[in-house]
Amino acid sequence: MDYTIVSADSHVDMSWLPGDLFVKNCNNPALLDQMPRIIETEKGLIWMAEGDNELGVAQSAGFEFIPPQKGRRNRTDKMIDAGFYDGPARPVDPELRLKDMTLDSVDCEILYGITGAGKNLKDLAVVTEVYRIYNDWVDQFGATMPGRWYGTACMPFHDPNVAADEIRRVKDHEFIRGADLMVGPLCQPLYARDGYWDPVWSACVDTKIPASFHIGGSRIPIQEMENMETKIWADSYNQNELGFQAVRGSLGMFSMVQHMMGLIFSGALDKYPDLRFVMAEAGTGWVPFALTRMDHIFEDAMLQGKFQEPAMTMKPSEYWFRNGLATFQEEESAGAMAHLVGIDNVMWGSDYPHPDSVWPDSLEKIEEALGNLDEQS
């Protein structure tokens, strides 16, 4: 299939999935009662798991199970007005999703899945089984219209050996194109130089599946407002709470800086030179400064001579240009910065169907960001 526009960052959230998907496909009888499912309540259709663990509403606005409400985001208001949240679940209906793609002039999508929902589950065995079920489902979804959708498989990242096993399990899934690794509080840091993450990197290299990191797994720490977790669905916030939400939302992408730096300084890219990694929905403008700063620290602190195995035989920036990729959806400076980030290191993604997406205005946003590039670029 010939492509004109490919979204390297689109989504399928748990809230849109069939309500009985995980119960029907659970292979472990001991976990059956713990599987996520949709139940009908006075508040409407709600996703529940692990007995009394209320995850949130079905057909939500984003991966956090937040109900779509007008007045929160301009993009959400447009989607509500267009009837996006009414009727069938568009993101998981192949015919309807393709119509939305056609409206947006997008030919193919890379789908990020339910790792964000996984951090709301308490039992790590449940997380592992839920991810397995989803990974099989997204591969089957891709098969409904071959060439239109390719999934990133959700990885249980609390244990590198468990994650490596899942990477190897999905290697023959025809429509899997990445391993979605969510770095959270249960994880060892990516900069660990003791080989802790080697099973994951080795599995990625052996299977030729890139390691993908998407925003939302961890954030730059900021002081939490009292009761904000319970007020996330509130109709209105006071001024301090609005300030918190503004900072929290703006900082999300910058958490990816530490993942990129951690992976490079870990030495993994010297040990596994064929390991490709993606910073998804992270934007690109931060990359040149981060590379400059990393190179400075590497040289000024004489780390090249101090790092033992795994050594670093190149400057940090050189690993980025050889191994790294980042996606953006709406960034007017992306074209101007592209040669500093690396022409071959930049990808665009629509973020459909999230509130932060540019659907159905992708062509306009691509032109704004990249219209100044020459044809060769």
The answer as to whether 11 is a domain residue is no
Instruction: Report which of 267, 274, 262 is spatially closest to residue 314, judged by C-alpha positions.
Output: 267
Return the SS3 of 21: helix
pLDDT at residue 229 greater than cutoff 80: no
**pLDDT for position 187:** 78
Answer yes or no: is 31 within a domain: no
User: Is residue 30 predicted with pLDDT exceeding 60?
Assistant: yes
Total domains present in the chain: 1
Q: What is the pLDDT of residue 214?
A: 93
294-308: average pLDDT: 91
Least confident segment among 103-117, 298-312, 316-330: 298-312
Which of 104-113, 136-145, 232-241 has the lowest average pLDDT? 232-241
Cα 125 to its chain centre, rounded Å, is: 21
Helix (H) or strand (E) holding 299: helix 287-300
- CA 329 to centroid of chain Cα atoms: 13
Mean pLDDT, the chain, as a whole number? Answer: 92
31 contacts 132 by C-beta, under 8 angstroms = no
Question: Which of the 8 DSSP states describes residue 226?
Answer: T
Which two tokens mark 286? 């931060």
Mean pLDDT of 235-249: 75
Whether pLDDT at 231 is above 70: no
The token pair at 311 is 């050594």
* Length of the chain, in residues: 377
Contact 353, 359 (CB under 8 A): yes
Average pLDDT over residues 111-134: 95
- Residue 218's pLDDT is 59
Tokens matching residue 148: 């239109």
DSSP codes of every residue in 132-156? HHHHHHHHHHHHHSTTSEEEEEEE-
Q: Is the dihedral of CA 183, 187, 190, 196 positive or negative?
A: negative
Confidence label for 253 from pLDDT (cuts 50, 70 and 90):
confident
pLDDT of residue 282: 94
What is the pLDDT, as a whole number, of residue 261?
A: 96
Q: How confident is the model at residue 367 (pLDDT cuts 50, 70, 90)?
A: very high
Cα gap 254→326, rounded to integer Å = 12
Q: Which residues of 32-61 are buried (b: 16+ CB within 10 A; e: fewer)?
A: eebbbbbeeeeeeebbbbbeeeebbbbbbb
Q: Assess if residue 242 is contained within a domain.
A: yes
- Asked if residue 10 is part of any domain, the answer here is no
50-105 pLDDT, tens per residue?
A: 999 999 999 988 877 888 888 888 899 989 888 899 889 999 999 999 999 999 99
The verdict on residue 59 lying in a domain is no
Which is higher by pLDDT, 189 or 176? 176
Spatial separation of the C-alpha atoms in residues 336 and 350, rounded to whole Å = 19
Contacts of 29 (CB under 8 A, 6+ apart): none
- Domain CATH number, residue 116: 3.20.20.140
Give the percent of the chain with pLDDT over 90.
73
Q: Indicate the SS3 state at residue 129.
A: helix
Q: Residue 118: its pLDDT value, please?
A: 87
Q: Kindly tell me if the per-residue pLDDT of 121 is higher than 60.
A: yes
The model's confidence at residue 316, banded by pLDDT at 50, 70 and 90, is very high
Which helix or strand (DSSP H or E) is residue 48 part of? strand 44-49
Is 79 within a domain? no
Q: In this predicted model, what pLDDT tens digit does every residue of 191-202 receive, in sequence order? A: 999 999 999 999
DSSP summary character for residue 51: T
272: left (phi > 0), else alpha (psi -120 to 50), else beta?
beta
- CB of 346 within 8 A of CB of 328? yes
Mean pLDDT of 214-242: 64
Assign 227 a pLDDT band (cuts: 50, 70, 90): low
User: Is position 354 within any domain?
Assistant: yes
**What tokens appear for 212 in the block?**
């993908």
- In terms of Cα–Cα distance, which of 166, 162, 174, 165 is closest to 132? 166
Give the range among 222-226, 234-238, 357-361, 363-367 with minimum mean pLDDT: 222-226
Residue 16 has pLDDT above 70, yes or no: yes
Residue 323 has what pLDDT? 99
Domain that holds residue 335: 112-370
Structure tokens belonging to residue 68: 């779509």
